[in-house]
Amino acid sequence: GAVVSQHPSRVICKSGTSVKIECRSLDFQATTMFWYRQFPKQSLMLMATSNEGSKATYEQGVEKDKFLINHASLTLSTLTVTSAHPEDSSFYICSARGGMETQYFGPGTRLLVL
Amino acid sequence: QKEVEQNSGPLSVPEGAIASLNCTYSDRGSQSFFWYRQYSGKSPELIMSIYSNGDKEDGRFTAQLNKASQYVSLLIRDSQPSDSATYLCAVKGTGNQFYFGTGTSLTVIP
C-alpha cells in the first residue's frame, strides 16, 4: 500500500506556543489530504479536508484560525496548531488520497501541551 | 442518523473462532467501502476495500457487501490474539466524502 509519513511523531510544548505537524505522501501524489484528531478511547474526528492548492474545508466546530492547514504541494500538507492549550493535547492523524479511492493514514503525531 | 453505524462492542471471541463485524451506511449511492484496523495508540491501517456486491476474500479476512441492504461486514476466520484491535468501517459517499464509523472493539481471547 501507499506510504504516508508524519513528523514529528511526538511533541511536547508549552501552552501558548505553536506547533507544526507535517504530513507527506512518499510514493504517490496526494490530491486530497485529511486531518483527524483522536482523543483517548474515542473515535476519529475529521477536522478538515485539504485539496492541493486550495483552501482547506473545515468541519463544523473546528476553528480554522487555530488549526492552520496548508497543502502547498501534491506530497505535503501541514497542520499548525496555533497558541496551543492543554485541551489541544491529542493524537493528530493525517491521511492522503491520490487518484485511487483509498485513504492511507500516516502514523500519527501525539501532541502534549503543558 | 449517522452516515456510518457500527456496533461499538466490545466484541469478544475465543482464539480460532470467526469474528463478525458489521456496518450499515445511509448513503444509498455509495460505491466504495473500506475496513481499517486500529491498534491502541496507533493510526488506522487499511485491511480491505470492496466495491461490488458479494464477498471478497483476502487471507483470513472476508469482506461482504450488500448494497440493497446498505450493509457491509468483515469476517475474520481463525481469529488470533493479534487481531485484537478496533475495526473501522469507512464509506465513500456520492459527494466524494469519506465517512468513518466509530469502530468496533474486538478482543480475541487466547
Q: What is the pLDDT of residues B25-37, one digit of tens each?
A: 999 999 899 999 9
| B24: DSSP letter | E
Helix (H, G, I), strand (E, B) or coil at A87: helix
CB of A1 within 8 Å of a chain B CB? The answer is yes
Average pLDDT over residues B5-11: 89
Residues 6+ apart with CB under 8 A from B84: B106, B107, B108
Decide: residue B32, CB within 10 A, 0-12 exposed, 13-18 middle, 19+ buried.
middle
pLDDT of B21 strictly over 90: yes
Cβ pair B20, B35 in contact under 8 A: no
Best interface-test mutation with A: which of B2, B36, B43, B56 has the largest number of A CBs within 10 A? Answer: B43
Rounded to the nearest integer, the mean pLDDT of chain B is 93
Give the cell for residue A3. 506510504
| Pick among A46, A102, A104 to test the B interface (most B CBs inside 10 A) | A102
Number of residues in chain A: 114
pLDDT classification of B43: cutoffs 50, 70, 90: very high
CB contact under 8 A, B45 and A105: yes
For residue A110, list its beta bridge partners.
A10, A91
Look at residue A75 in the predicted model and tell me its pLDDT: 92
Q: How many CB pairs under 8 A join A and B?
A: 40
Contact by Cβ (8 Å): B36, B90: yes
- For A86, phi then psi, to 5°, come to -55, -35
pLDDT at B96 over 90: no
